[in-house]
Amino acid sequence: MAHWEYSPPPTGLSKKYSRELKVGSTVAELLARLDFSDTKEASKFLEPRLGSIDCPFDIPNLERAARRISQAIDNCQTIAICGDYDVDGVTSTALLVAILQQFDNYPAYIVPLRLEEGYGLSQKAVERALGKANQPDLFIALDCGTNSTEEVRYILDQGCEVIIIDHHQAKEEQADEVILVNPHVNDQESSNHCQLCTVGLVFKLAHGLLKIRREKEDPRAFDIKLRDYLDLVSMGTVADMVPLNRENRIFARIGLQVLSRTKRIGLQNLMKVSGVASKHGVNPIDVSFRLGPRINASGRLADASVAVELMLSDDPGFAMETSLQLDSFNRERQDIERAMTEGAMEQIRKGGTDSGGFVVYGNDWHPGVVGIVASRVSKAFNRPAIVLGREGDLAKGSGRSVDGVNLVEVLTPYSDKLESWGGHPMAIGISMKIEQVEDFTKFFDQALTEYFATHSVERTLNISSWLRLEDISTKLMQDLSLLEPFGQANPEPIFGAKKIRFGSKVTVFKDIHFRFTLPTRQNQVISGVAWKMADRIPPATTPVDIAFRLVWNTFGNKKALQLELVDWRLS
């Protein structure tokens, strides 16, 4: 059970927002937590508008990139595009290809084959892209390439110019002749643009290209409505877990609306196959747990360019066939993941579960699924976990952490012994020689022991606002929708309610979950569900405090308000 914390924001600020922005007290309190500079900024947050995004040319090198692409359009030059195989890379590739096709330029594009070509702009991926485009005039790397200096030099030596659109941190410096659009490299880290993922940068690039083509009075540029491309932008933005504020909030909020009524036949079919009820609106959970995994599965197990083709196709037959194929990949990925998770758990049980964290290795474990398994193991034991599979003579994998444990800090003393590593406090990627795994396991256990001795790592549950059950209503849900979509930098609120009695109306289902109903003082009933909490059902008659989320439960043409239990404690 977590330690609950509630720190109310300044009362005066909440009242000010409520009065000046004409919102209810709960929304005002949630707004007061988001640290706006003034009421005007809070108002913009509540009403994001596409017309308020910054000039694209504020991003260093973006105008150079847009003008070089415009020149390629004018001169009918050949373009090759290489995009990464995750949702951000796939949507970035689809977006740029779709825009260029509007200007009668039909670029060749590839997505790296994960198992054969490795991650990002590898030499094998570069050679395949150059061959597919038959030695292009311009090479554009999306969501990769910032640190691929040798591969970029090879492209330049083939007489091909290079543009890189990326948002990853730089470890090396690119050649001067490369046009690098990466705010983390060329801009200040405090810049708004550093929060954009690659598809957001590609959208800004498209905006800049349209400006230039309209200056040239290209009639095709006036037919393009950038808003229509926000379905792709919202998917990459949500899936890449970038902060959903500033321009990302505009892209995500408006983009999810566009996605719910997208004209792309491929996305319509993918939503149908994924069980996304778009008539109720598409939310971040639909992207993160339904659409995203199916797109990612193609990159993990096969060729993610299939997902790009799906987004670009206007052939209904191909769209349905490919959507079913992605769904099949996802089921295969789930089967692999399930088997690997069971294997990882068995290793941990045999080695003992009293360690501060776990390193598990499987000689035949699929490298495309290790991150998901690490996440499952970490959650199951509430400890940091690193899961490694074999790739040649290397053990490669991913690590996931828990609240309070900074994996970067823990691993830094061992970094010189690793082949490669990187990431952030909660998630890392790592590779080492297979014969090092045993030594690394000992180091990880000792490093965590020392870390726990000097750090407090109790899991904390932050209560956003306290409610009475009678406060929960359709009106409150409408008010909360003003703050959507929730995500990084705008977390979904967890509410608290005190002295609740569950009574006997609790039903366990699938052995691990339970449903319940709670009566309010106004003789209404609120339905609720507790996922994976059947082993912790609250007492029937003793009053408890509950922590919960409020969601819409959609089924068919109907939707009903539902309370999702997160935690409970005795009052």
Mean pLDDT of the chain: 94
Residue carrying structure tokens 């792309």: 264
Tokens of residue 475, six digits: 């009106």
Give which of 60, 114, 55, 107 is closest to 84, Cα–Cα: 114
- Place 1 in a pLDDT band, splitting at 50, 70 and 90: low
Residue 333 in any domain: the answer is no
88 closest CA partner among 246, 263, 296: 296
How many angstroms separate the CA atoms of 148 and 168, rounded?
12
pLDDT band at 241 (very low <50, low <70, confident <90, very high): confident
Q: Is the pLDDT score of 76 beyond 90? A: yes
Question: Residue 240: is its pLDDT beyond 80?
Answer: yes
Residue 366: per-residue pLDDT: 86
453 and 496 together in one domain? no
- pLDDT digit string, tens, across residues 142-192: 999 999 999 999 999 999 999 999 998 887 899 999 999 999 998 887 788
Q: Mean pLDDT over residues 239-245, rounded?
A: 91
User: Do the domain assignments include residue 439?
Assistant: yes
Task: Grade residue 299 by pLDDT with cuts at 50, 70 and 90.
Answer: confident
Look at residue 169 in the predicted model and tell me its pLDDT: 83
Ranges 70-74, 145-149, 353-357: which has the least confidence: 353-357
Residue 272's domain is classified under what CATH number?
3.90.1640.30
What is the pLDDT confidence band of residue 480, given thresholds at 50, 70 and 90? Answer: very high
Please give the residue range of the domain that contains residue 323. Answer: 55-327
Model confidence at 458, in pLDDT bands (50, 70, 90)?
confident
Phi/psi at 397 (5° precision)? -175, -160
Domain boundary among 458, 473, 506: 458
Does one domain contain both 167 and 69?
A: yes
What confidence tens digit (pLDDT) does each residue in 358-394 have? 999 999 998 888 999 999 999 999 899 999 999 888 9
Same domain, 134 and 75: yes
Q: What's residue 79's pLDDT?
A: 98
The DSSP-derived string for 380-424 is: HHTS-EEEEEEETTEEEEEEE--TT--HHHHHGGGGGGSSEEEEE
Q: Considering only 100-104, 201-205, 392-396, which range has the smallest mean pLDDT?
A: 392-396
Q: In terms of domains, do 70 and 127 share one?
A: yes
Question: pLDDT band at residue 403, thresholds of 50, 70 and 90?
Answer: confident
Nearest one of 181, 227, 147 to 69, comparing CA atoms: 181
pLDDT confidence of 237, banded at 50, 70, 90?
Answer: very high
- Residue 431 burial class via C-beta count within 10 angstroms: exposed 0-12, middle 13-18, buried 19 and up: middle
CB 232, CB 199: distance < 8 Å: yes
Do 448 and 389 reside in the same domain of the chain? yes
The CA-CA-CA angle for residues 333, 337, 341, to 5°, reads: 175
Closest CA to 516 of 524, 469, 477, 508: 508
- 159 domain-assigned: yes
**Maximal CA-CA distance, the chain:** 78
Same domain, 373 and 477: no
**Looking at the structure, do residues 279 and 404 belong to the same domain, yes or no?**
no
The structure's pTM equals 0.91
Do 142 and 208 belong together in one domain? yes
Residue 386 lies in a domain: yes
- What is residue 367's predicted lDDT score, i.e. its pLDDT? 80
Q: What is the CATH number of the domain that holds 375?
A: 3.10.310.30
pLDDT interval class at 504 (50, 70, 90) = confident
Close Cβ partners of 318 (under 8 Å, ≥ 6 residues apart)? 309, 310
Distance CA 426, CA 564 (A): 25
**Which DSSP letter does residue 490 get?**
B
| Cis, peptide link before residue 485, omega less than 30° from 0 | yes
Are 310 and 361 spatial neighbours (Cβ–Cβ below 8 Å)? no
- Domain stop point among 406, 431, 458: 458
Q: What does 176-209 look like in DSSP terms, one character per residue?
A: TTSEEE-HHHHS-TTSGGGG--HHHHHHHHHHHH
Query: Of 132-136, 239-243, 454-458, 462-466, which gets the smallest average pLDDT?
Result: 454-458
Give me the number of domains the chain comprises: 3
Query: How do residues 113-128 score in pLDDT, each as one tens digit?
Result: 987 887 789 999 999 9
Sign of CA dihedral 317, 320, 321, 323: positive
Return d(Cα 515, Cα 565) in angstroms, integer. Answer: 10
- Grade residue 302 by pLDDT with cuts at 50, 70 and 90: confident
